Chains A and B, each alone.
Chain A
Amino acid sequence: MGSLFTPLSWSDSGLILTGVWNTIIISVLAIVVGTALGLIVGFIRSESNKVVNVLFGSLLDVLRSVPLIIQLILFSTLMGAMGSPLAPFVAGSIVLSLYTMAFMSEVFRGGFESVSPSMQTAARSLGMSNWQTIYHIRLPISLRAVFPSWLGVSLSVIKDSALVSVIGYMELLRTSEQLISRTQQPLEILIGVGIFYFIISYPLSYYGRYVERKMAI
C-alpha cells in the first residue's frame, strides 16, 4: 500500500511558478490601478472643500479600516448572492485595487498638499496656466515627496495579496497550502514561499532605494 502523502518533487515546480506568477499579476494590477485611482482621488481631495472631503474621507476610511480579508469575503459572497458570482481573480483584483487606492489616495493627497500655495502662485505669476502648474510643478514635486510612502504601500500590497487566497485565487500562498496538505512538509514549503515573496519584493525595494538616492539631490 502506498503512502497517503506524496513528497515534494520537481514536478511541483510548474504549480509553484503558476502561484508565483498569479501573485505577481494580481499585485501589479492592484498597484497600477490603485496608484492611478489614488492619484486622481488624492488630487480631488487636496482640491476639495470640507464637505466633499468628509464624505469622501469616510468612504476611504471604511476601505482602510475594515480588514482586507473581510472585504474580500464580503464582496465575493455579495456578488454571488446577487446572482453574478465573479471569478476569484476578478473579485480579488477589484477589492485589492480599491483597498490599494484607499491608501494611495492619502499618500498622494499628502503630496499635493505639501506643495505650498505660494509655490503655485509663483508658477501662475510666470503666466503658467492652472494645468501647466499642476503638470510641471505640483505633480513632480509631490511625486518626489511621496515616493517612499508609495513604495511602502506597494510592498505591503504584494504581501496583502496573499489574502486573496481566501476566496479561492490560486496565488502563491494557496498553492503552498495545497502542497502542504498533500506532502505534509510545511516547513520546507513555507520557507520556500517566504523566499519567493522576498524575491518578488526585493527588486522593488532595491529599485526604490536607487530612485530615492537619485532624487535626493
Chain B
Amino acid sequence: MISVQNVHKSFGDLEVLKGVSLDVNKGEVLSVIGGSGSGKSTLLYCINAIESINKGTILVDDVNVHAKVTNKDKLRQKLGMVFQQWNSFPHMTVLENAALAPRIVKKMSKEEAIEIARKELEHVGLGDKLDVYPTKMSGGQQQRLAIARALAMKPDYMLLDEVTSALDPELVGEVLDTLRLLAEEGMTMICVTHEMGFARDVSDRVAYFHQGVIAEIGEARQVITDPQNPLTQKFLSKVR
C-alpha cells in the first residue's frame, strides 16, 4: 500500500503540496488529474524519493520513504516510474535498455536479465524490436519501452506521469492500451493523466488536484461524470 499522509512540499517560497493525504491499495488504479502546476508530478516525485518533503509522511508497504535510514535505491526497485519524456538510453538496443537495471541493480546474471527483459518487451508488444536502437523507433514505441524497462524490475507499483502527453495523437492509443493491459493484470498504479476517458474507464478512483491540495477524490466514474466540487466541475468543463 502507498500511504500519503498530510504531505507538504515547497520549492523555496512556493508551496506546491499543501497537506496531501491519500491511500492507494494493492491492485488499485488511481488517476490524478488537475491543472498545470497543481503539484501532480511533484507528488509522484515525492513518492519515489526523487524529491524530499517538508512535512508529513509517505509510506510504501509501511516503509517510511523519507526516513534517513531508508535505502532509496532499494525502495525505487518497488516503484516503477515512467515519465512524459521516455528517455530511452540511446546507446543501447531495446533489449539492453530493459535488461540493464535487472542486471546491475538486481545483480541478475546476464541470461536471466535478458530473459526478463525479453518477456516484458513482448508484454508491451515490442517483441520484434529487441535488437533495434530506440532512436529508430516512434515515440509510442519508445514510451512502451520505458514501461517495459520499468516492469523488468518487477515493481509492485507503477507511477506514471503524463506518459502520453508528449506523443503525437495517433500514438496515444497504443500506450493507453498497454496501461489498460497492466490495469487488467492487477498492477497497482498511480497515473497522472490528461486523458479523461482513460481516467474514467481504467482507474478505480480519480483524484483532482487544485493548487496543491486534493479538491476531490472518489470513484472514477463519479468524479469524471458527476463531480461534486465546483472546482472539479469547472476544470472538467474546460478540458472537455
Chain A residues at the B interface, C-beta cutoff of 8 Å: 116, 118-119, 121-129, 132, 136-137, 140-141, 144, 217
A121 to chain B, nearest CB (A): 6
B100 at the interface (CB under 8 A from A): yes
CB–CB A122/B48 < 8 A: no
How far is B81's CA from A217's CA once the two chains are assembled, in angstroms? Answer: 27
How far is B230's CA from A29's CA once the two chains are assembled, in angstroms? Answer: 72
CB–CB A128/B73 < 8 A: yes
A112 to chain B, nearest CB (A): 14
CB–CB B50/A136 < 8 A: no
B114-161, CB < 8 A from A: 133, 135-136, 146, 149-150, 153
How far is B91's CA from A129's CA once the two chains are assembled, in angstroms? Answer: 19
B85 at the interface (CB under 8 A from A): yes
Contact residues of B: prevailing secondary structure? mixed
Contact residues of A: prevailing secondary structure? helix
B104 at the interface (CB under 8 A from A): yes
**A120 and chain B: residue at smallest CB distance:** B87
Chain B residues at the A interface, C-beta cutoff of 8 Å: 48, 50, 73-74, 76-77, 79-81, 83, 85, 87, 89-91, 100-101, 104-106, 133, 135-136, 146, 149-150, 153
Q: Pick the contact of A141: B74, B89, B106, B146 (CB < 8 A).
A: B89
Kindly list the 10 A-B residue pairs having the minimum CB-CB distance in the complex, ordered from nearest: A122-B87, A126-B101, A125-B81, A127-B77, A127-B105, A127-B76, A217-B133, A119-B87, A140-B91, A127-B73
Q: Pick the contact of B91: A128, A132, A141 (CB < 8 A).
A: A141
How far is B73's CA from A128's CA once the two chains are assembled, in angstroms? Answer: 6
Q: Pick the contact of B74: A127, A136, A217 (CB < 8 A).
A: A127
CB–CB A126/B91 < 8 A: no
- Between-chain CB contacts (< 8 Å), 23 pairs: A116-B87, A118-B85, A121-B87, A122-B85, A122-B146, A124-B76, A125-B50, A125-B79, A125-B80, A125-B81, A125-B150, A126-B76, A126-B77, A126-B105, A126-B149, A127-B77, A128-B73, A128-B105, A129-B73, A132-B104, A136-B100, A140-B91, A217-B136
CB–CB B89/A126 < 8 A: no
How far is B152's CA from A128's CA once the two chains are assembled, in angstroms? Answer: 13
How far is B100's CA from A136's CA once the two chains are assembled, in angstroms? Answer: 9
How far is B97's CA from A128's CA once the two chains are assembled, in angstroms? Answer: 13
The answer to whether residues A124 and B85 also contact, given A129-B73, A141-B90 and a CB cut-off of 8 A, is no
B14 to chain A, nearest CB (A): 19
**CB-defined contacts of B90 to chain A, threshold 8 Å:** 141
**CB-defined contacts of A128 to chain B, threshold 8 Å:** 73, 101, 104-105
